[in-house]
Amino acid sequence: MGTARQFQVVFKFYCLCLVIIVKAKEQNKMRDLFYLNLVKGLAIARLYTDFPAVLSNSYQLKTQGIDTQSGTTYTLLPDDNGMVVVFTNSSAVTLTVPSGLNVGFSCSVVQYGAGQVTISAGSGATLRLRSGSNKTGGQYAVVSLLSVIANEYIVTGDTTT
């Protein structure tokens, strides 16, 4: 299981210049990861060499990232982190979000078939729903899941009740 990382964003103004610095806590020490310097409408960015390594343990994007599911039930797996999970069934689908996925877990869910996808929390997991909606909004709806706290998953996107 990955360790939770503490991030800090610092905004600094120098004359007519805004500098945004992103820091991460590693080994009990805050380290600069990235800064964005906004000067006269131009953005100048500097990526620190350890930035990809710091994020790679928590947030993953995968180039081969499509996971097509044709059944009516599916439980997310740790390997679904960074993936787009596409549901093609014409009947209703239940997607279970289990406890134990790493903090930083994220995936997108696509209702490609006619079957509406209902997102449910497995034992020990909690879904955070802004509007109380845990179902995809219809065919071609896209929903995102993101864990920022252990065993809690924010559900956002094209949802309905």
User: Is the domain of 98 the same as that of 119?
Assistant: yes
Give the Cα separation of 102 and 17 in Å (integer).
38
> pLDDT tens across 29-71, in order?
655 545 554 444 444 444 444 444 444 444 444 446 788 999 9
User: Is the domain of 95 the same as that of 150?
Assistant: yes
* pTM summary value: 0.63
Give the Cα separation of 114 and 29 in Å (integer).
50
Domain that holds residue 37: 6-56
User: Is the domain of 93 the same as that of 132?
Assistant: yes
- Provide the CATH number for the domain around residue 101: 2.60.120.640
Give the Cα separation of 105 and 117 in Å (integer).
19
Q: Look at the chain and report how many structural domains it folds into.
A: 2
User: Is the domain of 83 the same as that of 138?
Assistant: yes
